[in-house]
Structure 1
Amino acid sequence: MNTANKITIFRILLVPIFIICFEKLFPSSIIPLIIFIIGAFSDFLDGFIARKYNQVTTFGKFLDPIADKILAISAFILFLEQGIVPAWTIIVIIFRELLVSALRMIASSNNINIAASYFGKFKTVTQFIAIILIMLNKTPETVNIGVYYLSVALTGISGLDYIYKNKEVLDLKNI
């Protein structure tokens, strides 16, 4: 297993630690925030290492986006539990993630690779920024929630972008 994939697995293993620390320590401690920032930074780091050192693997292409989804959705659900974000936004985020994952599975079964789009990458970055801002301020302040709603909008837009750019994968005649 290469370094980039180890970092991706590390990010997944960090999620339960983040959840436990968030539930036990938030909002009185910055420890959950630090753990989340480490997880978010590891997303950049594993991609950088994979590209720079030619460590791009099928395993990494599959697991890296899942690790991002697990990290971000965990934080959003914890925010929902705290009453910081409304449920419908979490539903939009989860729906998009499941839809894009299903699209990738269908494509993969037809030997088609769907690479991450710029919208998808920008969506992930804005989600991570929104999570960090909310955790820094511990309340749903206007700026934080504005960035959060921007991330929700980008989540929807990137999902539509994936479907539009890969509509041939959804050959509806064969259903």
Structure 2
Amino acid sequence: MNLPNKITLSRIFLVPVFMLFIIPIPEWMLTSEYLSFMHEILLDTNNFILNYGNYVAAVIFIIAASTDKVDGYIARKKNLVTKFGIFLDPIADKLLIAAALIALVQRNQINGWAAMIIISREFIITGFRLVAAGEKLVLPAGIWGKLKTVIQSVAVALALLKNYPLSLISNFRFDAFVMFLAVIITVYSGYDYIAKNSNVIKET
């Protein structure tokens, strides 16, 4: 396995680490009699997650999202582009974004409809890619798909950081505005991707 693919895999492995800091500890664990010996530790940990976990998660998310550019750059510069890498890279992106969106919905920081639309688009395109793979075709992401990933990442980062440091100078909901743009671009990028590769699902 070459270096770019290893970097892509590292992005996938960071997803559960990200989730540990963003998802609060379940209520049943906090109140379980079987875990009474560690209630204080669990409560302290949960308080940290609720108050500061999103900032730690934001750092992990930004690092993970940044590796998308690193692995792509190395793959192109060193001529290490592989079919496995082309397949794995968007999967890693989808896992990271989906995990972040679900976590933010649970924390009531973004609208559930935005998450549903974005994740639904990813399911549709993944199904489309599977059909293409059955025809032994590998369909790389287009320019709109790449822009979609960038805008989604910015929107998630702003939501995780609660608009910091922009919140220091304005009360404007930058995260909500950028998330709205992300939804629009996500829908259009899905349409554009399928329209340009519609021959894959045409009956013969």
TM-score (norm 1): 0.92
Task: Supply the distance in 2 between the matched residues of 1:20 and 1:57 (Cα, whole angstroms).
Answer: 32
Dislocated runs of 4+, deviation >4 Å: 138-141
Partner of 1:130: 155
Contact 1:26 1:32 in 2 (8 A): no
Query: What letter is aligned with 1:75?
Result: A
Aligned partner letter, 2:52? S
State the match for 2:83 in structure 1: 58
What does residue 32 of structure 2 align with? none
Q: Which moved more, 1:11-20 or 1:26-35?
A: 26-35
Query: 1:22-60 deviations in whole A, cap 9, x for unaligned?
Result: 225254252211111110111111111111111111111
Q: What is the match of residue 109 of structure 2? A: 84
Per-residue CA shift, 1:109-155, capped at 9, x if unaligned? 11222111000000000000011111122699521100011111111
Q: Does 1:165 align with 2:193?
A: no
TM-score by length of 2: 0.80
**Cα RMSD, aligned residues only:** 1.7
Q: In the alignment, which residue of structure 2 is the partner of 1:142?
A: 173
Q: Show CA shifts across 1:88-109 (max 9, x none).
A: 2222111111111111111121
Gaps of 5+ in 1: none
Shift of the 26–116 alpha-carbon distance from structure 1 to 2, 3 Å rule, reads farther
Which is further off, 80-89 or 63-72?
80-89
Aligned CA distance change for structure 1 residues 75 and 17 (closer, same or farther; 3 Å): same
Q: Does 1:18 align with 2:22?
A: no
CA distance in 1, matches of 2:115, 2:59: 23
Tell me which structure has the larger Cα radius of gyration.
2
1:49-95 C-alpha deviation (Å, 9 max, x unpaired): 11111111111111110000000110000110011222222221111
Query: Of residues 117, 120, 130 in structure 1, which corresponds to 2:142?
Result: 117
Aligned to 1:99: 124
Total equivalences in the alignment: 173
Aligned equivalents of 2:140, 2:94: Cα separation in 1: 16
Q: Which runs of 5+ in 2 are unaligned?
A: 24-45, 165-170
Q: Within 2, Cα distance between the matches of 1:162 and 1:112?
A: 14
Q: Which letter maps to 2:182?
A: S
Return the offset for 1:6.
Answer: 0.5
AA at the equivalent of 2:162: N
